[in-house]
Structure 1
Amino acid sequence: MNRLINYTIFLFLIGIVWSCQTTGDSVLQLTDDLTVKAELIHSDDFTDGIDNWKVEQMPDGSVYHKDGKLEINDWRGCTAWFKEKLEGPIMIEYEAVVLQDTTKSQEEDGIFDRASDLNCFWMATDSENPDDLFAKSDFRTGRFPNYDTLSLYYVGMGGHFNTKTRFRRYTGNGEKPLLPAHDLSDAVYLIKPNTVKKIRLVAFDDVIQYYRNDTLIYDYRDPRPYTEGHFGLRTVHNHMTLDNFKVYRLTKIED
């Protein structure tokens, strides 16, 4: 009997997968008891430029459109925000490359090239300006401590000169605790330059996840989850590109 029930469930899921493939949607297993349908709601392949993005950056850096990608050269701190506010449950996917020309010194064209800080914010809001995250852009100006007043999820991949990858939940009042399980230093979690990193971020109710190249790195249960907000690509002293940015609406598939 159990075998028959399992087989029936298997056929049901196969039918969902086939249906979603024909409509451009996809099915994902986020946890043992959470299967979702992902419906594409936003995409940016940067063919037409970077007008969908709001840049906050300290002096001596630049963000620009090149070869069909958003490209960052940064010295002192930068966040490139997707302008559209997102409402959960959602999944965000993008491809990023940290560029490092090992044939050039930092005094030459490789001055920004450093394998470090492929970072991101998601579900970011400002309690002082709940309807306009960008009201205080001129205050933040890409300086990292100035983001402590936001509520958001943050992953810093390859921070501290590519020695740490960390997940934090910003509370909006300056607190951003770091749990020991979220402080990773093994080389497998750090940055290999000049290779495509496929990043996936999930915010489905209390399920908060971070994937790199389809590998789940952080799987956090938030008792007070952030259910809306902005995505920001974050870095400092780095040369990198962003491409194939997508946002999906997630819907639970009931058993």
Structure 2
Amino acid sequence: MTTRRAFGALAAGTALSALLPTAASARTRPRPGGRLIAADHFRHGLGQWATELELGGTVTAARGVLDVDVPGGATVWFKQRLTGPYVLSYTATPVSAGGVNDRVSDLNNFWNATDVRSPRNLFATRRSGALAEYDQLTTYYAGYGANTNTTTRLRRYVGEAGNRPLIYDYTEPLLTANEPNRVHIVSDGPTVQWWNNGRLVFDYRDPAPYTSGHFAFRTTWSHFRISDFEVRRLRAESGA
């Protein structure tokens, strides 16, 4: 895993070796065998979700698939607020089949998000789907294969307009067209992890962690098919 920058991790005292694949691969993979907190198998519409679309597009949930096909910024929020420790999992496939929005880019997530403008109700603040309108969240933000599939980054938003602190910035791993990505997000106190297909992509220890808030799928000008969404209480295991 090639690292460009890891300012936030180093500032928090994380050793550089923790950013390298040899160190990351030694971490225990999440095994979400705990109590089910939430799930959606995408067979009954968007009742559990709220969409914010910058330039329109379509977001549908049917036949086991959340289909996000958008020409601009899109955020699809899970309405239920989540509190850790938990492991959240889903599968997302970037579609490349000749469609107008079939640009392979931006498998992104917000999690443990709160809007400082309405901290008791994330949805009381109106947002259009433009990325800058999320600066006033406190949240973690993963951007996997962002910027036309050239960057993979972790940010820790601090609720300030124009300030989106960068934790990790990688040149890979990136998305592969029409290939599924099985994602696990671990929220366990100060331990913040984002896994893809069994690989530990982000492993951050936050000295002032965000431990609850909302989750969202986030993308821009792309087409994704998402399935098998669930959140389970994290089961403690030795070596984790």
Shorter-normalised TM-score: what interval? 0.7 to 0.9
| Aligned residue-pair number | 213
1:178 aligns with one of 151, 160, 166: 166
- Provide, for residues 122-158 of structure 1, a one-character-per-residue CA deviation record: whole Å limited to 9, x for no partner: 100112212210111x3x2111010000000011011
CA distance in 2: counterparts of 1:254 and 1:195, whole angstroms? 32
CA distance in 2: counterparts of 1:39 and 1:197, whole angstroms? 23
Structure 1 length as normaliser, TM-score?
A: 0.78
Shift of 1:69: 1.1
2:176 alignment partner, SS class:
coil
- Residue 169 of structure 1 aligns with which residue? 156
Matched ranges for 1:49-88 at <5 A: 49-88=45-84
Counterpart amino acid of residue 164 in structure 2: K
- Provide, for residues 61-118 of structure 1, a one-character-per-residue CA deviation record: whole Å limited to 9, x for no partner: 12112432111111120000000000111111001111011xx3xxxxx110000001
1:51 alignment partner, SS class:
coil
Which blocks of at least 5 consecutive residues in structure 1 are unaligned? 1-29, 105-109
Matched ranges for 1:35-114 at <5 A: 38-101=34-97, 104=98, 110-114=99-103
Shift of 1:36: 8.6
Is the contact between residue 32 and residue 87 of structure 2 (CA under 8 Å) also seen in structure 1? no
Shift of 1:177: 1.7
Is the contact between residue 210 and residue 218 of structure 1 (CA under 8 Å) also seen in structure 2? yes
CA distance in 2: counterparts of 1:237 and 1:169, whole angstroms? 23
Counterpart amino acid of residue 208 in structure 1: V
Residue 120 in 1 paired to residue 104 in 2?
no
Matched ranges for 1:181-192 at <5 A: 182-186=168-172, 189-192=173-176
1:38 alignment partner, SS class:
coil
Residue 247 in 1 paired to residue 234 in 2?
no
CA distance in 2: counterparts of 1:183 and 1:214, whole angstroms? 19
Is the contact between residue 142 and residue 153 of structure 2 (CA under 8 Å) also seen in structure 1? yes
Is the contact between residue 43 and residue 61 of structure 2 (CA under 8 Å) also seen in structure 1? no
1:132 aligns with one of 121, 125, 131: 121
Is the contact between residue 37 and residue 252 of structure 1 (CA under 8 Å) also seen in structure 2? no
- Provide, for residues 215-241 of structure 1, a one-character-per-residue CA deviation record: whole Å limited to 9, x for no partner: 111110000000100000000000111
2:69 alignment partner, SS class:
strand
- Please, what is the CA RMSD of the aligned residues? 2.2
Change (3 A) 1:132 1:159: same
CA distance in 1: counterparts of 2:179 and 2:46, whole angstroms? 22
CA distance in 2: counterparts of 1:113 and 1:141, whole angstroms? 22
More helix by share: 1
